[in-house]
Structure formats: structure tokens, C-alpha cells
Amino acid sequence: MKERMVYLNGEIVPYEKATVPLLNTSFRYGAMVFEGLRAYWIPQSGTLNIFRLKEHAARLLESIKLMRFEETYTSEQIERAVIDYLAALKPAQDVHIRQMVFLDSEEFYYARGPLQMAAVAVPMGRRRGFEKGINCNISSWRRISDQSIPPRIKCAGNYQNSRLAHIESIESGYDYPLIMNDRGKVSEGAGSAVMLVRHGALVTPPATADILESITRATLLELARDRLGLSVEVREVDRTELLLAEEVFLCGTAEEVVPVVGVDRVRIGAGVPGPITCQLQEELLAAARGNEQHYADWRTQVTF
């Protein structure tokens, strides 16, 4: 992998050369929209599978629209940027790609363009807690709301809410926060969706629970139904349901599936990663790596 080469407006340049001026509007106000994607390295065939590239491009376009940025990029341009970047970078390992769209402006916060696009890939294997699980707290912070700073937009500024909750969690001796929305229902984690297994069904809060519409969440709902034959409930979730659940886990592009073994020091299930959580970890990685031909349309292959 060519170290520290990044994508900026159609070119692959050294990281040090891709700089943003101090008065840049997006930097000043957190007005930058982005995606986090994963690409899985398949050593046997020398291919890299970008996972759910189309869905990430579609969500980036939704963020651009809701941010009232100028709608100048097409889905094809957004997808092509990631493909061309990885083809040039040639990483022979699993990577995480951050694709960003931000203003090329030093105007006030209501500037809407022109836009620029950047992408940066870093090596990323399984995240901490993937095997043994993590301990979560219920944050004292409330999730930002669709009525003020919509969590549906994947915007840099939204992560101030995650930051406050995550620091509080670590300082209180936990690994990671679960955040309730302003109606007191379960929303999501600081940077991941949350799912639970209750009475054998897979349960997750709806798109209207002040969440980011997670692509991994949609992927797992499909895998749970189609591959594991589970019944799936997308509905409001109470805080106490987390404590009574047989299993709880986080999901997201970076996390994939991370088991939660305790919430507010209450043991979840047997206090170890549950069987459905582990099966979903396997199903997700199989779909992403293409061990079987299932879900080929979820994978965009880059060969080098």
C-alpha cells in the first residue's frame, strides 16, 4: 500500500499536500459531510471488495442535499473517486476509507459551494471488542434530534454529540455509550447502530428514532431474515429492554458487529458474546469477502 497518499479532487496526492486553509468554511463550522466505507482484501484472488459502495454514495448524496450543498456530484463520480483511489493505492489488506465532501470557500456558514471531495484510506482489521465484547453505559447526554441537527445527515458537526457522550463513557469506566433520543427511547451508539435480541427476535430502533440510517444495520436486517431465518422487529426500544435482552450488539462499517456484554454494569445474557451476534459477525464478513456468491451486488471489486 502506498503510504499516506490521498484522493483530492480527482488526483492522488501525498497527505501533506492535501491541506485545508484555516478560514475554510467547512473547517470553521463543521460543515463537512462524509462516509466511512470498508474494503476487504481477498488474498486468494488479489481483489479488494468495496462493501456497499452504491449505498454509501447514495447516502452521501442525501447528506449533500440535506446540508443544502450545491448538488454538483453524481453518484457515479462519488463511486469512481473511491474505485480510482483504491486502484492507485493498491492496499493488500482490509482498509477503511473516509470519503469527505466539503466547501471550497471562506465565506460565512451559509455558503453552499463550490464543493471539493477527498478520500483517505487507512488499514483496519477487526475493531476492539469484536471477539470479547464491550461494556456500555446509557449516556446522560441525549441524541441530537431531527428538529435541530438531523442525525440522518452524516456531517462532521454532528459528532460533537458523540464526542461528549463518548468522553463521559470512558471517564465513567465504560468502553462506549448508548444514547437515548429526546423522547427517552433508544437511539444509537456514538458512532454505530444498536441492535438487540429479545425473545429470539432481532430488534432495532426505527429510522425515526434520531439515528443515522446505517448501512450495516440494513445489511444485518437482511442477513438475519434471509440467512438466519430470524424474525426482525424495527420498532421503538425502551432503555430497560436493553437490560433484559438476551444479546445486545453495536453495528457499523468500522465496528462491523461488536458484542455488548454489559449495560450500566448489568450483565447482558450470559455476559459473553451471544450466539446470534456471533452468527451475524460471520454472515457479514462472508457477504463482504464474497466467500459465497450471495449478495454479489453488495461488492464492488477492484483488481490490481
Q: Evaluate whether 253 touches 233 at the Cβ level (below 8 Å).
A: no
- In total, the chain counts a number of residues equal to 304
Q: Phi first, then psi: give them for residue 79, nearest 5 degrees.
A: -70, -45
In the bound state with ligand PMP, the residue whose beta carbon lies nearer, of 268 and 284, is 284
Beta-bridge partner residues of 248: 196, 260
Check binding of 105 to ligand PMP (CB under 6 A): no
Among 214, 277, 281, 300, binds ligand PMP (CB under 6 A): 214
Q: Cα(220)–Cα(52) distance, rounded to whole angstroms?
A: 13
Q: Cα(299)–Cα(304) distance, rounded to whole angstroms?
A: 16
Name the minimum Å distance from CB 258 to ligand PMP. 11
Name the minimum Å distance from CB 211 to ligand PMP. 6
Name the minimum Å distance from CB 44 to ligand PMP. 26
Name the minimum Å distance from CB 145 to ligand PMP. 13
Check binding of 281 to ligand PMP (CB under 6 A): no
Beta-bridge partner residues of 7: 12, 119
The interface region with ligand PMP, picked from 191-199, 234-242, 271-279, 292-300 by CB under 6 A, is 191-199
Neighbouring CB atoms inside 10 A of 71's CB total 12
In the bound state with ligand PMP, the residue whose beta carbon lies nearer, of 203 and 215, is 215
Pairing of strands 32-42, 5-8: unpaired
Check binding of 94 to ligand PMP (CB under 6 A): no
CA distances from 144 to 105, 163, 184, 237 (A): 27, 12, 12, 17
Which residues, at least 6 apart from 70, have a Cβ–Cβ distance to it below 8 Å? 112, 113, 114, 115
Name the minimum Å distance from CB 22 to ligand PMP. 26
Among 30, 36, 150, 157, binds ligand PMP (CB under 6 A): 36
Q: Phi first, then psi: give them for residue 285, nearest 5 degrees.
A: -65, -35
Check binding of 177 to ligand PMP (CB under 6 A): no
Check binding of 252 to ligand PMP (CB under 6 A): yes
Name the minimum Å distance from CB 97 to ligand PMP. 12
Among 129, 133, 177, 191, binds ligand PMP (CB under 6 A): 191
Sign (positive/negative) of CA torsion 253, 255, 256, 260? negative
Name the minimum Å distance from CB 156 to ligand PMP. 11
* Site residue total, ligand PMP (CB under 6 A): 12
Check binding of 153 to ligand PMP (CB under 6 A): no
Rg, the chain, Cα only: 19
Check binding of 205 to ligand PMP (CB under 6 A): no
| Residue 268, all three cell numbers | 447482558
The tally of CA atoms less than 13 A away on the side-chain side of residue 272 is 2
- Using CB under 6 A, list all residues that contact ligand PMP: 36, 188, 191-193, 212, 214-217, 252-253
